[in-house]
Amino acid sequence: MNLTITPEALGWFKREIDLESDMGIKFFGKVYGSTQVHDGFSIGMSVDRPEHPMIEKEMDGINFFAEEADDWFFKNYDLTVDYDEKLDEPKYIFTEN
């Protein structure tokens, strides 16, 4: 899994989420909803500390990550976190790897 955060998404996170120094943005799979590649599951986001990250990406002082426990959700995919201007929120794009 590769994790890409676009500059526009990074700007949204910096504006909207206040992080303590040891906290980061965690992406995970959750029951309910759908993504372009999952039916019955959607992507969640929370402020958390990494415990067993399978991927981490630090950008402009913010640590973005996904935990090993969510490998089932991200397996065989790369994740791009972009920004939806109309909804003023992140949007998630999965591509096969």
Q: Per residue of the chain (97 residues), give pLDDT as tens.
A: 999 999 999 999 999 999 888 899 999 987 766 666 666 668 989 999 999 999 999 999 999 999 999 998 899 999 999 999 999 999 999 999 9
Please tell me the pTM assigned to this model.
0.89
Which residue segment(s) compose the domain that 16 sits in?
A: 3-96
| pLDDT value of position 34 | 60
Q: Determine the Cα–Cα distance for residues 94 and 96; give it in Å rounded to an integer.
A: 7
Question: What pLDDT shows up at residue 37?
Answer: 66
Q: Tell me, what's the pLDDT at 57?
A: 96
In three-state form (DSSP H/G/I as H, E/B as E, the rest C), the secondary structure along the chain is CCEEECHHHHHHHHHHCCCCCCCEEEEEEEEEEECCCCEEEEEEEEEECCCCEEEEEEECCEEEEEEHHHHHHHCCEEEEEEEECCCCEEEEEEEEC
CA 58 to chain CA centroid, Å, is 12
What is the CATH number for 87? 2.60.300.12
Structural domain count of the chain: 1
